[in-house]
Amino acid sequence: EPEVTQTPSHQVTQMGQEVILRCVPISNHLYFYWYRQILGQKVEFLVSFYNNEISEKSEIFDDQFSVERPDGSNFTLKIRSTKLEDSAMYFCASSDRRVTDTQYFGPGTRLTVL
């Protein structure tokens, strides 16, 4: 069964450093998403991406964050200058169609900012 994959599974970085989290969505999906889950808190929407542009973003997704689909298979989340509060589990998801289609989630990348 097709699945969303994410790399790395765990990333440790120093505050102020840039990180790139990578995702390979399900191959025929058109919509891509990033969510995050701070330890002990709920899963929160960050951004959705369709047709090579952001379709929706949350207030969390500020100028420090960016997303890109650099090729036909990868979908990346970049954090330019990490802060301690960026430490979280980051989930990538993809779906075939908007609204009525299910979002399929990857296993997550745990980001630890020291």
Partner 1 sequence: AQSVTQPDIHITVSEGASLELRCNYSYGATPYLFWYVQSPGQGLQLLLKYFSGDTLVQGIKGFEAEFKRSQSSFNLRKPSVHWSDAAEYFCAVTSGTYKYIFGTGTRLKVLA
- Interaction site with partner 1 (CB under 8 A): 4, 6, 31, 33, 35, 41-45, 48, 50, 55-56, 58, 91, 93, 98-100, 102-108
Spatial distance between the Cα atoms of 12 and 24, rounded to a whole number of angstroms: 21
Say whether the peptide bond before residue 2 is cis (omega within 30 degrees of 0). no
Q: Which C-beta is closer to partner 1: that of 84 or that of 99?
A: 99
Whether 77 and 90 have beta carbons less than 8 Å apart is answered as yes
What's the min distance (Å) between Cβ of 6 and partner 1?
8
Q: Please, what is the minimum distance in Å from the beta carbon of residue 35 to partner 1?
A: 8
Min separation Cβ 55 and partner 1, Å: 6
Q: Among 76, 43, 72, which Cα is nearest to 60's? A: 43
Between 79 and 104, CB nearer to partner 1 = 104
Task: Classify 85 as helix, strand or coil.
Answer: helix
Residue number with CB closer to partner 1 (86 or 90): 90
* CB contact at 8 A, 31 and 50: yes
